[in-house]
């Protein structure tokens, strides 16, 4: 392992990312359509596979119906809904998404596919994501080269499931699970993961003190989970990354930042491990998931790291 400065990684990554020609397709029929109550989250319904599904959407208060916006989908944890993920993460704050659209889908039965307790199958939830994207593009002005997905716990695990799907996953530019429970990408089934392109940018943030989704893997609430080092190494292999990654140890060695160069691009895979963090969304300000986990604030802000990571990547033309 070698040390590297955060600044140098970001600079090289931005240079490589900007060299790619961005995707210019995608339905833009939603452009030109105005909406009431911009800046306030609004519920929407969509039919998917004969089932009524729902999501929450937040557009900037300064929303311009003729401007194509980067769009972030945020997937909640188990026994939850999109509204709670919105409140927990603070993504709607203007400092993070004042120029972006935020979308918070609701999982069936308060969960997402992949766990043994899930109500929806993987196929059903992937179809929902596809149908949701269709609805978004037909009603809002979406930049299809800059669509991203993040999530917490089973929501983070489902983000990984999307990333491993060559069809639905191809609609996204980058992924960022937090405290992810990777039931569909564990030691027994990781070879089923077939991303749409190489490299596929992915950031993961995890607590070393997480007792719900253990850093070292094993039996979880909804099935077998991989160790995070194994999960990362398999993504590094898929993304044709250099074998040697770069590591920074921060905040008196409490936070460890790992970064991989993949197919010639710096920092395509990134990982933050906070040694004393439990099963929650990393934040220096106390949030609901930290209260539920009996945790304290962390040194790092997952919302900041995820937003910054996403904005370095666009979906390539080919």
Q: Is it the case that residue 19 has pLDDT exceeding 70? A: no
Which pLDDT does position 119 carry in this prediction? 97
**pLDDT tens-digit map of 111-153:** 999 999 999 999 999 999 999 999 999 999 999 999 999 999 9
Q: Is it the case that residue 253 has pLDDT exceeding 70? A: yes
Averaged pLDDT for residues 63-88: 97
Averaged pLDDT for residues 276-293: 98
Q: How far apart are CA 101 and CA 99, in angstroms?
A: 7
CATH code for the domain in which residue 292 is found? 3.40.50.1820
Q: Is it the case that residue 249 has pLDDT exceeding 80? A: yes
The H or E element spanning position 260 is strand 255-262
For residue 148, what are the domain limits? 40-310
Q: How many domains does the chain have?
A: 1
Q: Is it the case that residue 315 has pLDDT exceeding 90? A: yes
Cβ contact 208:250 at 8 Å = no
pLDDT category of residue 9 using cuts at 50, 70 and 90: very low
How far apart, in Å, do the first and last CA atoms of the chain sit? 32
Which pLDDT does position 52 carry in this prediction? 97
Residues of the chain above pLDDT 90, percent: 93
Which pLDDT does position 318 carry in this prediction? 76
* φ, ψ of residue 146 in degrees (nearest 5): -135, 65
Averaged pLDDT for residues 24-29: 95
Averaged pLDDT for residues 204-220: 98
Q: Is it the case that residue 103 has pLDDT exceeding 60? A: yes
Largest CA distance in the chain: 53
Please state, rounded to an integer, the average pLDDT across all residues of the chain.
94
Residue 123 lies in a domain: yes
Which pLDDT does position 7 carry in this prediction? 36
Which pLDDT does position 14 carry in this prediction? 42
Residue 111 lies in a domain: yes
Residue 288 lies in a domain: yes
Averaged pLDDT for residues 201-225: 98
Q: How many residues does the chain have?
A: 318
Residue 90 lies in a domain: yes
Which pLDDT does position 15 carry in this prediction? 41
Rg (CA), the chain: 18
Provide the 10 A C-beta neighbour count for residue 146. Answer: 23
- The 3-state DSSP composition of the chain as helix, strand, coil percent (nearest 5) reads 30, 25, 45
More confident residue, 265 or 318: 265
Residue 33 lies in a domain: no
Averaged pLDDT for residues 226-236: 98
This prediction's pTM: 0.93
Which pLDDT does position 31 carry in this prediction? 98
Which pLDDT does position 70 carry in this prediction? 98
Q: Is it the case that residue 76 has pLDDT exceeding 70? A: yes
Residue 1 lies in a domain: no
Cβ contact 240:199 at 8 Å = yes
Which pLDDT does position 5 carry in this prediction? 40
* φ, ψ of residue 154 in degrees (nearest 5): -65, -30
Residue 212 lies in a domain: yes
Among all chains, which residue has been given the structure tokens 């409140």? Answer: 87
Which pLDDT does position 303 carry in this prediction? 98
Partner residues linked to 174 by β-bridges: 148
Residues of the chain above pLDDT 70, percent: 94
Q: Is it the case that residue 156 has pLDDT exceeding 80? A: yes
């Amino acid at each position: 392992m070698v040390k590297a400065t955060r600044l140098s990684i970001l600079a090289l990554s931005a240079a490589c990312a900007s060299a790619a020609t961005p995707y210019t397709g995608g339905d833009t029929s939603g452009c030109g359509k105005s909406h009431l109550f911009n800046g306030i989250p609004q519920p929407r319904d969509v039919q998917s596979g004969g089932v009524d599904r729902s999501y929450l959407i937040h557009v900037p208060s300064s929303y311009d119906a003729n401007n194509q916006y980067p769009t972030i989908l945020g997937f909640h944890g188990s026994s939850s809904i999109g509204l709670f993920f919105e409140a927990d993460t603070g993504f709607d704050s203007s400092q993070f998404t004042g120029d972006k659209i935020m979308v918070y889908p609701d999982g069936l039965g308060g969960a997402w596919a992949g766990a043994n307790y899930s109500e929806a199958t993987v196929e059903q939830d992937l179809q929902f994501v596809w149908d949701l994207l269709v609805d978004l593009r037909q009603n809002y002005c979406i930049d299809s080269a800059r669509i991203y997905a993040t999530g917490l716990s089973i929501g983070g695990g489902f983000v990984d499931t999307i990333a491993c799907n060559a069809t639905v996953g191809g609609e996204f530019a980058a992924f960022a699970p937090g405290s992810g429970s990777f039931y569909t990408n564990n030691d027994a089934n990781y070879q089923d993961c077939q991303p749409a392109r190489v490299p596929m940018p992915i950031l993961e943030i995890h607590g070393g003190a997480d007792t719900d989704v253990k850093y070292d893997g094993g039996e979880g609430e909804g099935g077998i989970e991989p160790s995070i080092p194994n999960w990362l190494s398999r993504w590094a292999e898929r993304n044709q990354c250099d074998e040697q990654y770069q590591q920074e140890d921060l905040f008196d060695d409490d936070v460890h930042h790992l970064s991989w160069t993949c197919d010639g691009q710096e920092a395509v895979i990134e990982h933050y491990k906070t040694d004393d963090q439990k099963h929650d969304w990393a934040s220096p300000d106390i949030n609901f998931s930290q209260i539920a986990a009996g945790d304290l604030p962390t040194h790092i802000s997952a919302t900041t790291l995820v937003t910054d990571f996403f904005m370095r990547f666009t979906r390539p033309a080919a």
